[in-house]
Structures are given as C-alpha cells and as structure tokens.
C-alpha cells in the first residue's frame, strides 16, 4: 500500500520579481486545477537561464497570480493521475513544465499529461533532469522549425538521404541546447554539422557529431564563410545564442535557407542590403510536448545521445544553483536534487 502523502512540502519561491534572491517555505501540496494534471514527487529540477526575470521583463507572458515557483525541468515519480490517464502511480517520468505555470522547484509538482513522458531508462536522475527543456528546444529547432527530418534519426533511408544533402550550422554547440542540436543533426544524417563554439571545446563537440568547428574566439562566422562561400554556406542556421554576433551568421546562409533562433528574431540583425532570400527566418519559444520527449527518450535509450550535466546541488543549495546558472559559466545543465 502506498504511503499517504504529506500535507505540506518545501518549495522554492521568488517573492520579488525584481530580485534573483529566492527563499524556501513550507506550503501545502499543490491541488490539481486542470483535468489532465498529474501529481509528481520531484526527484530533481534544473534552473533555466533568465527565468527569474521573465515576470519582470515579459509581464504579458506570465499569468497574474501565478505562484512564483521556478524550475521548468521536472524529473520524478507519479503519485496521482486522473482516471484514464496514460500514467499511473509509480511511473518514473520527466517533463518541461510550461512557463505559464508553477515549476518543479518543490517536493511535489503538477505537470499536464501532455507534457509528460516516461524517462529514459539508461539515464540517472541528474541526467534525466538535464534533458527535457534542452532536448525539446533542440529537437524543435532542428526538426520542427528547422528543415531536417526527424525520421532520419530512426533509420528512415529516404529521410536520411534528404538530410544528407543539407549543411547545418549550430551556435552555442558546446552548451546544453546546442549540444543536443549537434547530436540530433548528426543522428539524423545531416551532410555537415558546423559547430560554432570556442576552440577549447572543439574535440568535445566533434565527439557529439560535429563535422566542422568554427572557433568564434579566432574568426567571425561571416569571415569564415567568406573564405569559401561555395562550400561553407549552410541550409539551416540553428542559433542558440543571439546577441550582436548573430548578425554575422547571415553571411553563412544559403539563398533559400532557413535561419531559426531561440534567442531573438533573426531579422532584427539582418545586414542592411542583404541580398539573399531566406525560406524562413524565425524566433520561437519551445512547446512542452510529451510526445516528442517520448521520441527523445527512445533515441537516448538506443544509445549515442546524451545530456550535458555541469553540476549537481542539494535542494538546500537552491540559491547557489540559480546563481551559477545566471553567471553563464556553466558547461551543461545545473541540477538541483530534491528527493534523490
């Protein structure tokens, strides 16, 4: 017989949207507010860079009265699910909780059934927690918004043939999202996977599947592309960084190529008088889809795909964990253990 649930739990709260200082309080367990809410005992969560400033900087995207619990990445065990749910108590799951709702920085969290998937059996809890947000974002930038075909990662010969005709350039290739994007593009059979990162990570990103490396500390992407435009132009740019250097990426895009960014709209930095016509240039925000996580889970368990974990903190070290993420001095995801 399952143990009865406690009446209260510890939760991380951001009490002031203008401050990154967090607090921990004892509060009642969350109550389902939607027919498809699934209650999960949280094993671990992970901070997302910038999430503590969303309520301040993007107030229209944060519902009024949202309980300010951070942590979009969720890994844990189902303790209660609605009747007819695909999940049952005891299932070990992972998810990216949509940013419009309270996160997983607490001992029990609510996730929508549509966000959940069974976690990869080959990963430990820290690796599992490092996966949902980063992997979903990478999957969508490469396969949903981007032009590679996901069927290629599961061996579809025709999809792999078409993917093999495309060159992909990925910025931030040594980071958590970029690292997954490199792995997905390589697994799908892309003709070339160009990684933009510091030279110190060159061998690492090659181990993930990059076929070429542009060391941004030594050469800008536009200068690199100009050395041999015919062979260096790419069909897809997957930008994970944004910022002023994003302008230089346009020079590497083929006429009719696609420029996808998770940082800012590419057209904001398009060079004046740019002569090529992209098929697509968009900024997008990740969608929480358990169906895609289930595909990613299968791919991980098949071997060869892995998340990037920077460090692991105890639950009581939540402030240190968030501060480290905000420092931008990480090599992968920072994990906060909650009940493991």
- pLDDT of 313 strictly over 60: yes
- pLDDT of 329 strictly over 90: no
The CATH H-level superfamily of 8-131+307-337 is Medium-chain alcohol dehydrogenases, catalytic domain (3.90.180.10)
H or E segment at 126?
Answer: helix 125-129
User: Mind listing the pLDDT tens digit for each residue in 87-144?
Assistant: 999 999 999 999 999 999 999 999 999 999 999 999 999 999 999 999 999 999 999 9
Give the CA distances from residue 135 to residues 39, 132, 299, in Å, rounded to whole numbers and listed in that order.
23, 5, 11
pTM: 0.95
Q: What is the CATH number of domain 136-283?
A: 3.40.50.720
* β pairing state of 234-239 and 212-215: unpaired
Q: In 3D, which of 310, 336, 308 has the Cα closest to residue 322?
A: 336
Q: What are phi and psi of 236, to 5 degrees?
A: -140, 130
CB-based contacts of 240, cutoff 8 Å, min separation 6: 141, 170, 171, 172, 173, 175, 177, 178, 181, 261, 262, 263
Q: What angle do CA 167, 298, 109 make, to 5 degrees?
A: 110
In this structure, of 10-14, 197-201, 208-212, 266-270, the range with the lowest mean pLDDT score is: 197-201
- Which residues are paired to 110 by β-bridges? 39
> Residue 124 and residue 237: Cα distance in Å, rounded?
32
Give the CA distances from residue 319 to residues 37, 66, 135, 312, in Å, rounded to whole numbers and listed in that order.
28, 21, 24, 13
CB-based contacts of 206, cutoff 8 Å, min separation 6: 195, 213
Please give, one letter per residue, the 3-state secondary structure of 206-263.
Answer: HHHCCCEEEECCCCCHHHHHHHCHHHHCEEEEEECCCCHHHHHHHHHEEEEEEEEECC
Q: What pLDDT band is residue 3 in, cutting at 50, 70 and 90?
A: confident
pLDDT number for residue 4: 86
User: Mind listing the pLDDT tens digit for each residue in 286-308?
Assistant: 999 999 999 999 999 999 899 99
In this structure, of 24-33, 58-67, 132-141, 236-245, the range with the lowest mean pLDDT score is: 58-67
Average pLDDT, the chain: 96
pLDDT number for residue 327: 93
> Residue 155 and residue 215: Cα distance in Å, rounded?
32
CB-based contacts of 203, cutoff 8 Å, min separation 6: none
- pLDDT of 279 strictly over 60: yes
pLDDT number for residue 149: 98
Residues in the chain: 340
Q: What is the CA radius of gyration of the chain?
A: 20
Is 198 within 8 Å of 222 (Cβ atoms)?
Answer: no
- pLDDT of 1 strictly over 60: no
> Residue 249 and residue 185: Cα distance in Å, rounded?
18
Query: Greatest CA span in the chain, whole angstroms?
Result: 69
pLDDT number for residue 128: 98
Is 278 within 8 Å of 257 (Cβ atoms)?
Answer: yes
In this structure, what token pair is assigned to residue 277? 């016509």
User: Mind listing the pLDDT tens digit for each residue in 20-50?
Assistant: 999 999 999 999 999 999 999 999 999 999 9
Q: What pLDDT band is residue 61 in, cutting at 50, 70 and 90?
A: confident
pLDDT number for residue 2: 61
Q: In 3D, which of 39, 14, 44, 38 has the Cα closest to residue 29?
A: 39
- Which residues are paired to 227 by β-bridges? none
In this structure, what token pair is assigned to residue 93? 């799951």
Question: What average pLDDT score do residues 303-318 get?
Answer: 95
CA dihedral 81, 23, 55, 247 (to 10 degrees): -100
């Amino acid at each position: 017989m399952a143990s009865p649930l406690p009446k209260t739990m510890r939760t991380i709260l951001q009490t002031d949207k203008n401050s990154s200082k967090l607090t921990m309080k004892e509060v009642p367990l969350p109550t389902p507010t939607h027919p498809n809410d699934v209650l999960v005992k949280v094993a671990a969560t992970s901070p997302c860079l910038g999430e503590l400033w969303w309520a301040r900087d993007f107030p229209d995207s944060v519902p009024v009265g949202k309980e300010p619990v951070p942590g979009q990445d969720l890994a844990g065990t189902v303790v209660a699910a609605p009747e007819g749910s695909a999940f049952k108590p005891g299932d070990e799951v992972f998810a990216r909780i949509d940013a419009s709702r309270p996160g997983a920085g607490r001992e029990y969290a609510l996730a929508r059934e549509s966000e959940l998937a069974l976690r990869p059996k080959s990963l430990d809890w820290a690796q599992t927690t490092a996966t949902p947000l980063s992997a979903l974002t990478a999957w969508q930038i490469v396969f949903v918004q981007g032009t590679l075909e996901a069927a290629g990662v599961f061996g579809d010969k025709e999809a792999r043939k078409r993917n093999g005709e495309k060159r992909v350039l990925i910025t931030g290739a040594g980071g958590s999202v970029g690292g997954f994007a490199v792995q997905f593009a390589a697994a799908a059979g892309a003709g070339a996977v160009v990684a933009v990162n510091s030279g110190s990570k060159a061998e690492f990103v090659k181990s993930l599947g990059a076929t070429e490396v542009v060391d941004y500390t030594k050469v800008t992407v536009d200068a690199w592309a100009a050395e041999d435009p015919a062979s260096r132009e790419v069909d897809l740019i997957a930008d994970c960084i944004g910022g002023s250097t994003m302008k230089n990426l346009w020079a590497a895009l083929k006429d009719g190529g696609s420029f996808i960014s998770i940082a800012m709209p590419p057209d904001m930095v398009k060079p004046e008088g740019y002569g090529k016509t992209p098929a697509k240039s968009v900024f997008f925000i990740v969608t929480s889809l358990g169906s895609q996580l289930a595909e990613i889970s299968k791919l991980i368990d098949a071997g060869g795909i892995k998340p990037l974990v920077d460090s692991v903190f105890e639950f009581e070290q939540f402030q240190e964990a968030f501060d480290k993420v905000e420092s931008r001095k990480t090599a992968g995801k920072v994990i906060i253990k909650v009940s493991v």
